[in-house]
Amino acid sequence: MSLPRILPLACILAGLAAPAFAQGEVNLYSSRHYDTDERLYSDFEDQTGIKVNRIEGKADELITRLKSEGVNSPADVLLTVDAGRIWRAEEAGLLDSVASDDLTSRIPAALRHPDNRWFGVSTRARMIFFDKDRVAEPPQSYADLADPKYKGMVCARSSSNIYMQSLLAAKIAHNGADAARDWAAGLKANLARDPQGGDTDQLRGIISGECDIALANSYYFARALRVDVKGLSDEIDSIGWVFPDQDGTGTHVNISAGGVLKSAPNRANAILFLEYLVSDSAQAYLAAGNDEFPVVAGVGKSASVVQLGEFRADDLNLSALGINQAEAQKIYNQVGYE
């Protein structure tokens, strides 16, 4: 059977009927919400004969549900977005280590847990965007965003946003807390407005003239290249972009990631599902569905992503993003970054 989409926490905890504990099924809790993922599920079912039952909701709500269900949870796989969020599930003791040659050979070490408790299945880059006419010398690194010459020019999201927490967590891992604090203070001083809205709103700020420079994930921009995004696509040619830190640590990347639950009733099927997600066909669906980058080398990118060009990614193991998450929020609070 296929379960309905559930979003509010109150509904999640309201006692919906659980997926069946059947040999030919896998029960997925997913915070991905892209229509193209339907092709993933149907393709997996066609290839294996294993039925995918799923519950969809926000990542933190699903993690709360998993903790509440405990060992009686019907869930086999948790699929979510951002290493900081999958780390929360790991930290709660929900995820089990998986031994799989397919997963470890096809996914770079930086994009999976050191003990194989979660695995990245697609990536996105945290990029710098700028107005081509108003910015003659755009920032080339994340550090540049704190340079006083860009005072009053930068738009970025709030400190409560997981993307901002993960970026600062990476800076802590690379440079230490003191340097990260200096950077956060410098970024705050250079803001063109109080942090507000999502990544697309930062890009729209360039179009409106409110911002000259914006920090956003690659897929928000690539999506506006592929389909019409109100307030962005019509004038997108006025925006330039930079993959930061190409002469340093490399561009910060993040992931969609999946892990097998310790209490998984269909463990073998859960591992098969994760292995399917790193097959060439699934990698193409995953990446194209949200204008992201495949994690597996050699898999073709969607046309919108190809337009962004090639770049060198930071090879920091993304488990550091979760480990340093609390410290990152503490630093933002200390410098008054809202």
Mean pLDDT across the chain: 93
Residue pair 52/45 in contact by the 8 Å Cβ criterion: yes
For the chain, how far is it from start to end, CA to CA, in angstroms? 44
pLDDT digits (tens, 9 = 90+) for 135-153: 999 999 999 999 999 999 9
Query: Is the model's pLDDT at 311 over the cut of 90?
Result: yes
Query: Stretch 84-100: mean pLDDT, rounded?
Result: 97
Query: Stretch 86-101: mean pLDDT, rounded?
Result: 97
Band of the pLDDT at 34, cuts 50, 70, 90? confident
What are φ and ψ of residue 311, in 5° steps? Answer: -155, 165
- Residue 214 and residue 129: Cα distance in Å, rounded? 5
Query: Stretch 302-321: mean pLDDT, rounded?
Result: 97
Which residue bears the tokens 């990542």? 59
Residue 37 pLDDT: 84
pTM equals 0.91
Residue 23 pLDDT: 60
Residue 13 pLDDT: 32
pLDDT digits (tens, 9 = 90+) for 267-297: 999 999 999 999 999 999 888 888 999 999 9
What is the 3 state secondary structure string of 239-291? EEEECCCCCCCCECEEEEEEEEECCCCCHHHHHHHHHHHCCHHHHHHHHHHCC
- Residue 225 and residue 211: Cα distance in Å, rounded? 20
3-class secondary structure, 195:
coil
3-class secondary structure, 135:
coil
- Which residue, among 297, 323, 292, 295, has the nearest Cα to 308 in the 3D structure? 292
